[in-house]
Structure 1
Amino acid sequence: MRLIHTLLFLLRANRLEEDLKLADACLRSLEKSAYNTVVVYNQGFYSNDQLRDYLSEYNLETIVLGEGVNAGTSAGRQSCFRYIWEHRPDTEFISEIHLDMIFSGNWEDKLIDYLAANDESMISCGIVDQKGNMPFAGKSTAMPAGGQITDDFLHSLQEDRIIRGFTNPCIHVSEVLKETGGYDTHFLRGKQCFEDDSMLLGYYYYYGTRAAWHPKINLNAVVYHAVAGQRLGVYDDTLVNFNGLVKQYGAMGLKHLSGLHESQWHRWFFLKKYTDIIG
């Protein structure tokens, strides 16, 4: 198996109809992919049996993990990674996708081709949100009438350009992800936030500071991501993971993160936290 997807499955009781509609659009779009194996971590609302019944309606090979409890992003993703490493060890690439995404057919091809041709640990693709914003590309677009997200629409947003940045969906080189540890839940014990920064630092140190590695986005593929940060509707103390990040990588990790990120806010935030620690 060349690529396996990982997906955290969480439905919110107060937005059930909305979440189910997004989930259906996401899974239907994945049916068009050449890579149709998805390791799903059940984070809540359905029991595992109910979730398996639900997923059986789709032309996908799905493996359900978890216990129907929101264990958090780090624990859920890491469980998916471990399953792949242990049970599908020949897998070359692992994706991280969300339920509120819609994919064009074979959206992964350009990303896999890029990873195969370049010494990179991971690559993200471009995103467009429900308002037509394309934050990393620095532009916006008019959304289709009726809100129908088609392959033609997503293909029209592609451009042959690699830019600096990180977002989901992304695709990892499985071997490097395993070498760097993925999401270390010994440190990342909160539900969410800052787990991506921990992973990026792992890659940065894997290549060595001299190489000045930084995450990249390949705009040859564009995916619809309805609401970036949708999971933030589930409350959590963001300081849990931040404190874990500091324990894991120390003040110098924060300093390096201030250089890894492209956004001015991230640069300011991590540099300020670094300065606060060193006094």
Structure 2
Amino acid sequence: MIETIHQALKRLETRLAHEELDVNAAFLLLEHVTQKSRASLLAELREPLTELQAQQFEDLSSELLTGKPIQHIIGQEWFYGRPFSVSKDVLIPRPETEELVQGAMQRAIKLFGNKLIRVADIGTGSGAIAVTFQLEYPNAQVTATDISEAALVVARSNAEQNESQVTFLQGDLAQPLQNEKWDIVLSNPPYIGVDEASSMSSTVLDYEPHGALFAEENGLVLYRKLAETLPAIMKKPGLIGLEIGYLQASSVKRFFQNAFPKSKIEVVQDMNGKERMIFCEIQ
């Protein structure tokens, strides 16, 4: 029996809830299978799925129920209103990272106005930060780095897909940026302590690249290294924007206070009231 859109949606939501998985994925899967927008689907809830759609929905639902992220099944995630391809080689972009980009742009306008600026995104992954900043802030010349060649393949494809001009360089942290001076450096590095793995959901642990998730020294090693290497390559005035784990603010702030003694350092909360960003304005 062919189900209506509403019946298929409710059945999958119930199964996802039973497995303690994200029920919102059911709607995203239906959008993918029907190639309709959320508004269209809501207007057509009583319409039946075609036989082909019903079969595809059933097959992909089985994958979803294993804990595989919906973004890997449909091949993309939206970030700042744009589609970004994702794969097992990159971290799925999160809404908190959109807040990092937004906060960086607000501060950049105050610091630099309409001047042409050089911006680097360290550990770019899918390219979401670099591509978004370049498109939203046209006077920014953006360079993005990653240690993973596989991640850079995804990032380059996302830049092309979104018609963004970003230069991509392979290398560890700021190492590929050493020959230039930078107005802004942004980074969302791996920051989860290795010992935290046991408390994480299998959807993240089993499917997302561990190199983009975990870091030594209780997740702080890369912030320490950035604080050591960035003073040599930052312009004055300059801006550094970092996404951090919600318990890391005091440690990361200390690294950058030591590295840039005269800077203004802000710890910023995300939409959930957690301390998830640090901005360092270099005077």
Determine if the TM-score, normalized by the shorter chain, exceeds 0.5: no
The TM-score, its normalising length taken from structure 2, stands at 0.28
Q: Higher RCO, 1 or 2 (CA under 8 Å, sep at least 6)?
A: 1
Q: Which of structures 1 and 2 has the bigger CA Rg?
A: 2
The TM-score, its normalising length taken from structure 1, stands at 0.29
